[in-house]
Amino acid sequence: MKKRTLGKSKLEVSALGLGCMGMNFAFPPYPDKAAMISLLRSAVDRGVTLFDTAEAYGPFTNEELVGEALAACRDRVVIATKFGFEFGADGKQTGVNSRPEHIKEAVEGSLRRLKTDAIDLYYQHRVDPKVPIEEVAGAVKELIAQGKVKHFGMSEAGVNTIRRAHAVVPLTAVQSEYSIWWRAPEAEVLPALEELGVGFVPFSPLGRGFLTGKIDETTTFESADFRSGLPRFTEENRKANRAVVDLLHEIAARKGATPAQIALAWLLAQKPWIVPIPGTTKLNRLEENLGGAGLELSAEDLREIDGAASKIAVQGARYPERLERMTNL
């Protein structure tokens, strides 16, 4: 597995990480725990070093899964997790909370569940508009000084907030959705990160499974499946958006690859400091995704993909309005 460095941070990770959320959160039905522990360890054996989780996934159970699976190989992996939500007694999110005292409580829980003395990369999961970002960054800076956190990151933050946070403590990475069918970060975020020397970690690089070509208008989702409430995944929009997958299929056929591999190779070709984190619960999909890291797209390939993609109008918002309001603050 090739390695990449996240910006100027000197944090070196595998070119593709593994998003762990779907192993027991958001995308049912879930495999049993033993199968996911085996999958996580198989990823390590295949050279994956970056593993992404969050206290909100479950909540808490995803961190526990990652912690148990990776405890025996902790010195070989980089674990990223996230803070910034508050939870009720029923475990449901009750809102964002990035008050410094809450961050200091949250980190202790994450350290315990992840069975580690230090979190390699600690993201603010969503910007809290009620707490100045300087206070948030200052709290994380204290955790870094205490050795509980090694690197600071932000998820789905806007450029102004990124700059303000980076002025307090250097950011190692920003995590946001980015793929061939969601390219909003290209307008402002990626240029700012390049200027600041901050790495970029795209989540949902396969469009929550849509870009694999395995989802179409006939696919049904359980009510608890996160995608069932997303405008982009209505039956009508899935049918319209097949044009994106058709493009990937066409390129993949010529390259002897799969649509997922083309989608990942396209992302990796954008910048050398981009590290996508596709998620999966299946070993064959893990191996397929990792094949995308070794796929080289030529400048001509990239021009062709960009030219064809620019003619496709992707249908449907990526989030309902209430969730979209929590991004790019």
Q: What is the dihedral of CA 52, 273, 10, 116, to 10 degrees?
A: 0
Asked about 57 being catalytic, the answer comes back as yes
Residue 290 near residue 39, CB atoms below 8 Å = no
Q: How far is the CA of 6 from the CAs of 39, 61, 83, 171, in angstroms? A: 25, 27, 20, 10
CA atoms of 202 and 275, how far apart (whole Å): 7
Of 30, 57, 122, 123, the catalytic one is 57
Residue 229 near residue 239, CB atoms below 8 Å = no
H runs (alpha helix) in the chain: 33-45, 61-70, 100-113, 133-145, 159-168, 189-196, 235-240, 242-255, 259-270, 283-292, 299-309, 321-324
Phi, psi of 309 (to 5 degrees): -65, -35
Phi, psi of 187 (to 5 degrees): -70, -50
Q: Per the omega criterion (within 30 degrees of 0), is the bond before 29 cis?
A: yes
CA atoms of 15 and 12, how far apart (whole Å): 9
Structure-block tokens of residue 274: 């981009």
Exposure pattern of 68-92 as b/e (b: 16+ CB <10 Å)?
bbbeeeeeebbbbbbbbbebeeeee
Q: Crossing angle for the helix pair 33-45 and 283-292, nearest 10 degrees?
A: 30
CA atoms of 164 and 293, how far apart (whole Å): 33
CA atoms of 173 and 175, how far apart (whole Å): 6
Phi, psi of 140 (to 5 degrees): -70, -35
Phi, psi of 243 (to 5 degrees): -60, -35
Catalytic residues: 57
